[in-house]
Each structure stands twice: as C-alpha cells, then as structure tokens.
Structure 1
Amino acid sequence: MSKPAFLQHIKESLQGGTFVKLTLSKPFQKSSSLQNLYVRPIEIKNETVLNFLFRHLTQDETKNFDFEEGLKEVAKYLETHFKNAVLCTTTIDYTLLTSKKGKTTLQKKAVTREIEDVSHDKQKKKRSTAESTYLQKLGISDSQGNIIPKMADKYRQINKFLEIMESLLDSASLPPKPKIVDMGSGKGYLTFALYDYLTQKGLDVQVTGIELRKDLVDFCNQAATELGFDGLNFLDQPIEEYNDNDIDILIALHACDTATDDALAKGIASKAALIVSAPCCHKQIRKQLKGKPAENPILKYGIFKERQYEMVTDTIRALLLEREGYESKIFEFVSNEHTRKNVMLVGINHHNTRNSEQSTTKIQEIKKEFGIEYQQLERLLGD
C-alpha cells in the first residue's frame, strides 16, 4: 500500500498548495535511456501547471501537465519505470523506496520549507553578472559594467557554460580543493568565468589554463594577477606535453581536431571526476576515409558526410569514456545561431567498473560499418 499512499500525498499536497517538487529515480531497467524525472510547479499565464523534466542519458525533455494529468503521469512512471521517488512539501518529505524483491516502503521526515517562486516568466538567473571585474578586464563589459554589444554572444555563452557546470558539479565527487585544468583555454573567457564563479561560492580551487599561444598566456596571467585571482594560472605548452596527472576536472572546449583526444586521454589517465569537452574540427577520421567509396547513400553528399563523421567521432569518444567507467553525455552547448560547433561531450566518473566488453563491441561495429581503421583516442589509451 506504500505506492497508493505516496500518490495520495502528492494529490493532497497539490490540492493544499504545499507541493514543492518531486523526483523519480532508479529505473527498473539499468539500460534505460530515461534516468530521472523531475516535477515542479510553474506558473504560465496566471495558471499553475506541473513541469516535467525527463532526464535522458543524452538529452533533457520537458512537458507541462495540469494537476490531474500530471498525477496520472507520475502514477504511470512509478508503475512502469522508476523504483524510487521523493516528494518534497513545505512540511514533510516523503520517500518511496523499492527493494530488489519489489517490496515498497514509505518514509516520512518533518521539514520546514518555503514555496519557491513558480513564475515561468521570471528573469533568467545570471551566474556571471555584467559588473564582474573580470568581464571588464577581458573586454566583455565596459567600465560602467555594461556588456559591450559585440560581446553579447560571448556573455550568453559564459552564463550557459556556468549553468551547465553548476549542474555537472552537483553530479561529481570532488575533493575539498579541486584541481581544474582547461586545455586549450584561448583568451580564457570561460576559464576566468569558472574560477570567479567557484570562488564566489566559497570553493578553494586551483585552475590552470593550457594554451599554445604565448601572447594569450602572458595576457591571461597578467589579468589574473591584477584581479587577485591567486588560484588561477596559465601555461604555454601543447596539451600532449602536460604531464601532471593530478586533475579533478578536465575541460577542453573547442580543442582542435585530435587535441580533443589528447585532452580526453589526459583526463582519463588522471581518473578525473569530471571531463567536459566541446569537440572541434573532427579531421582525423575524415582524412582517414578520404577517397574510400562509401556504401551508405547518406555519405554520397559532402555536407552530410562531414556531419556524419563528426557524430561517429564523438560517439566513439563517448563509448571509450563508458569503457573506462565514466557515464557519458552528449548534448547541445549553445544555440546553432551562435556556432555550429555546439556539441558538448561530458564524462562523469562514478568510479564504476570498466564497461569493456559491451563498449568495445559497439566501437568495433561502428568502425566496421564506416570502414574506420582507428580513432585517435583509442591509440592514446593504448589500444
């Protein structure tokens, strides 16, 4: 009777205005794409509805339901998909647990919690405000704290990046003083942003940017010194020559071609808790297959061939991360209107056992289908 009682508590909290949020977790099938379901109330056109966030391995999906429809959806997913659930109300947290034998139990815990602002149209939270001094130093805002119009896209990218990192950091197991390495840091826009954001949250972090261009490294080091960012420094050297394996978070955004593979290999070798990359160029497999006839009709057209090889490359990289015990995710980083290189590949180290056989089989099938001899990350990992 635990499940019907849990659903009744949801219904009563909705009717009584005490509902705060609901989380469904632990799928019956471990291989399921859908990993979590998050439910919260939002207000749209003066009407409160339930917003469902379906968290899949590779993407998120949202839908809105009225209270009655939403309750039916929750009941359906508790019956067919998820073992556990947590209902948070203003006064009591209810936890529904399902044992390996299918027995359900319901736990209660008294709390004091306020209702959150449910307005869907409220201004989006900015994790980097226009007044931040590092934005002025990097030429994104002026001395009055106004974003320079031509840098508006970069400012949006910074806040989107920090939003993503905020979520990923909640999923990672990090030491008290995490060491972060940004490989291919460029002018350091996102490197400075992450350091500023984490230190503002009170975290003691050490952030290192790796960049080939010495003029950019000198500029960034001087800026960090002038800003008093004592835990931030930059080194001018190739990614493959960086030999410090003490990395907790590895970042590689738009590291060109196989530099992405160099960075991923460094992160895996360090057993980094979190690997965050935005792959770029994808030349290695294209060069390898140049001139070879393609049986797949999709690959008859050059533009499709390029996109297909990008997807193949990043899929193999994701499978290699899974093979090494990481949970891998691929999702959109920024909108296509800003850049077509907008895919983010993430690896979260849950310290799982290596998923060698299954992932290796999938990689071999992809290579056989497309006539690929090797992908660079395979070689860097010793395959």
Structure 2
Amino acid sequence: MDKLKELLQDNLNIELRSAVLSNPRQKEAAEKIKVRPLLQKEKLLFQIETFRNHQAFHRNVEPEEACRLLQKAMENMRQMQIETRRHLYTVLVSKKGKVTIKKKALACERKEIDLSHNRKKHYILEEGVPVPFLLDLGVMTEEGKVVKSRFDKFRQINRFLEFIEDILPELDWSREVTIIDFGCGKSYLTFAMYYYLHECKGYNIRIIGLDLKKEVIRHCSELGRKYGYEKLTFLEGDIAGYTGADHADMVVTLHACDTATDYALAKAVGWGAKVILSVPCCQHELNGQIENDILKPILKYGLLKERMAALVTDGLRAEYLECAGYDTQILEFIDMEHTPKNILIRGVKNGKKGENQKAVKKCEEFLHVSPTLGRLLE
C-alpha cells in the first residue's frame, strides 16, 4: 500500500476536486465513500462522506487524517478514482492487496471549485457552464443556466453520469471502447455519455444509439454532426433484431419498455459486455402471469399486483445476470418523487457463473412465471 499512501499524500491538497472509493469487498462495509476539499476559517480540510444502508455520514478531517482513513478504507474497497484539476487517477486493489494506479491527463483543465462548507451540490455537468447538447435539448440557456422546468432532467443526467464514473475502472481504456445504448429516445443520456467521456475526459470511445422512432433518430444524428461527434452514431431499429455489432464493452438500456429490456440484456450477455446499466420500464409481462394461492389475498389488488410483478421481474433479471457471470446490484437511480421508475440494474462481468439457477427456478415455479430473459439466456 506504499504507492497508495504516496498518491494520497501528493494529491490531498487544494488541487483535489474529488475522490470516490467504491466496489466494496464485504456487504457490511461502506457502499461508497466520497471525498472533497473544503476551507473552514482558512484551514484546508477534507470532507469524507460515507454511504451505508442508504444513509450518508459526514466527517471533516485534516489532510494527514484523511490520508490515514482513506488508506484504511481501501482495505475493503476494490477501486478509487481521484480527480484533480489536471489529472484523473484510477486505483485498483486486487484480492491479494496489489495496488495498480493509472494516471490520465484530463482533456481540459477544470475550473476552481467552491471550497465553502455549505456549498451547493456539485454536479458532474455544472450549472453555469454551457453544454452544447443541453442547450439544443432545452435543458440549459445560452448562459449555462438550467431551465427551471427541466431541472429534474438535468439532475437525472448527472445522476446517470455518477454511475458511469463508478464503472470507469472496469473498462479497458487502452483501446477503443464500444458502448451501445438500446432505446436511446431523445438521447439526453447518450449525448451526456459522449460529452463526458470523450470531450471532457478524452477517452477513445464509440457510442451507438438505437431506437425505433425514425424522426428521433434523424434529429439526434443531425445534432451529433453539428457538434462534430464523429464516433457517435444513431440507428433506427428494433433491439431484438439488431445485428449491427458483434461486440460491446458496455450496454445501456434506459426505460426500454417491457420485454425490450430483456432482449437488450440478452444481447449484452451474448456479447460478453463488461458493464451493463439498465433502468427497466413498464414491466407488464409477469403481471399477466403471476399467481399464487398463498399470495392471492394480496394479488387481488391490481395496483399491488402490478408493483409486485415489476419488482419480481427486476429481481429475476438481476439473478439471471448473476447466473451468466456478472456481479449485479440493484440501485436507486433517482428519488422516487421524480419518477416511479427509479431502479437501476448494474452488472459488471466477473467471468464466474452464478450457482443460483435452482433457487431461481423454484421462485419461478412458486409464482407461476416464465420471464422472457430466462428463456433467451437458456
């Protein structure tokens, strides 16, 4: 851990923008730790924000203490990302404690950040900094001010980019990384991915957005050409029948309706995608199948049956991914007050087939359901 100690000592200073520790080894450990600098009475401190059981705990400490605490925390974490005004560091820690550090110069130097204790929430795409695609999509004004009626969309975009940040160490950035966005729609998040990864961080990526709506694809293609996004392509087509690629490093599916999500997940598994990010929508299939004599007093209420079927659908999807060799988590995408479709399924390929097939089959038999994804992966 000497290399890690040296890295922290060199970067826990006024140049630090943020550090994020993630991917815990033990379930009882902190889910994530975020670090940011702040000034109190002209003294430099670091705020350590620890997330555990959907709660956040804050602690302000001096640089030496911050260094010690982060070294200790990394004993239970697999990865850390440190961003300064000029560089991005990715730290990976193996099971045996071997530390690998990757350093990358940022494409553009970041502006100074607010170090006050009670500063406004920091967003990856900052308010006050005009972003071309957000202007054309009606989220920002020309001055970079977020349109009040579109702030929920601005917040959603930034929340999604936080998930992207978390998985960056999982991808091989020594070559071109291919990302496919199934059901891209108006492509707020597709443009956000390209802008953040290629324009801001300088990564070598290719992104393909696929959707059924011809007019939407035409409009997004025009915007992509307008911004000079040469490796961003939009195609009209159906997820189930898509044959335009033979591999993908990351597959994104956001609000693909009902079984369209299943076809996207099956494609991702077939390609051996390293990362899967899926926000399901309109889980109708199991609502028409689910039945159980023991649960009949609950299932007779249509609204409860609908919600239960949606939860069962996504729970089984996560289990199927585990069986296919993915470390899978179900996470909250954005607060429930903004949308009821707030579950994100995140899968990171580990190459180890799960051994829970029998338990999944018992669950399906108990509820009398046969989900599309299960059949596709068979």
- TM-score for both structures, normalised by structure 1: 0.72
CA shift, 1:167, in A, is 1.3
Look up the match of 2:152.
153
Alpha-carbon separation, structure 1, partners of 2:370 and 2:184: 27
AA paired with 2:374?
E
| Contact 2:183–2:209 (CA under 8 A) maintained in structure 1 | yes
- In the alignment, structure 1 segments of 5+ residues that lack a partner are 1-8, 89-96, 105-115
Alpha-carbon separation, structure 2, partners of 1:360 and 1:62: 35
Look up the match of 2:251.
250
CA shift, 1:61, in A, is 4.0
Residues 173 and 303 of structure 1: is their aligned pair in 2 closer, same or farther, counting only changes over 3 Å? farther
Matched residue of 1:152: which SS? Answer: helix
- In the alignment, structure 2 segments of 5+ residues that lack a partner are 83-92, 98-112
For each residue in 1:153-198, what CA deviation from the matched residue of structure 2 results, as whole angstroms up to 9, or x when unmatched?
A: 1111111111221112234445521011100000111101111111
| Contact 1:172–1:348 (CA under 8 A) maintained in structure 2 | no
Choose 1 or 2 for highest CA Rg: 1
Look up the match of 2:216.
216
Residues 140 and 22 of structure 1: is their aligned pair in 2 closer, same or farther, counting only changes over 3 Å? closer
- Percentage identity across paired residues of the two chains: 31
Alpha-carbon separation, structure 2, partners of 1:280 and 1:165: 20
AA paired with 1:146?
K
Residues 60 and 268 of structure 1: is their aligned pair in 2 closer, same or farther, counting only changes over 3 Å? farther
Alpha-carbon separation, structure 1, partners of 2:77 and 2:154: 41
| Contact 1:142–1:148 (CA under 8 A) maintained in structure 2 | yes
| Contact 1:52–1:64 (CA under 8 A) maintained in structure 2 | yes
Alpha-carbon separation, structure 2, partners of 1:132 and 1:39: 25
CA shift, 1:321, in A, is 0.6
Matched residue of 1:163: which SS? Answer: helix
Residues 175 and 268 of structure 1: is their aligned pair in 2 closer, same or farther, counting only changes over 3 Å? farther
Look up the match of 1:4.
none
Q: Is 1:190 matched up with 2:189?
A: yes
User: 2:373 is matched with which residue: 374, 377, 383?
Assistant: 377
Look up the match of 1:164.
163
AA paired with 2:315?
T
Alpha-carbon separation, structure 2, partners of 1:24 and 1:219: 37
Residues 198 and 365 of structure 1: is their aligned pair in 2 closer, same or farther, counting only changes over 3 Å? same
Look up the match of 2:104.
none
What is the correspondence of 1:223-372 to structure 2 with a 5 Å cutoff?
A: 223-243=223-243, 244-289=245-290, 293=293, 295=295, 297-350=297-350, 352-355=351-354, 357=355, 359-369=356-366, 371-372=367-368
Alpha-carbon separation, structure 2, partners of 1:133 and 1:36: 34
| Contact 1:319–1:363 (CA under 8 A) maintained in structure 2 | yes
Alignment coverage as a number of residue pairs: 330
Q: Is 1:62 matched up with 2:56?
A: yes
| Contact 1:174–1:273 (CA under 8 A) maintained in structure 2 | no
Residues 266 and 33 of structure 1: is their aligned pair in 2 closer, same or farther, counting only changes over 3 Å? farther
| Contact 2:21–2:77 (CA under 8 A) maintained in structure 1 | no
For each residue in 1:125-145, what CA deviation from the matched residue of structure 2 results, as whole angstroms up to 9, or x when unmatched?
A: 332245011112222223343
- TM-score for both structures, normalised by structure 2: 0.73
Alpha-carbon separation, structure 2, partners of 1:149 and 1:99: 47
CA shift, 1:66, in A, is 8.4
Matched residue of 2:341: which SS? Answer: coil
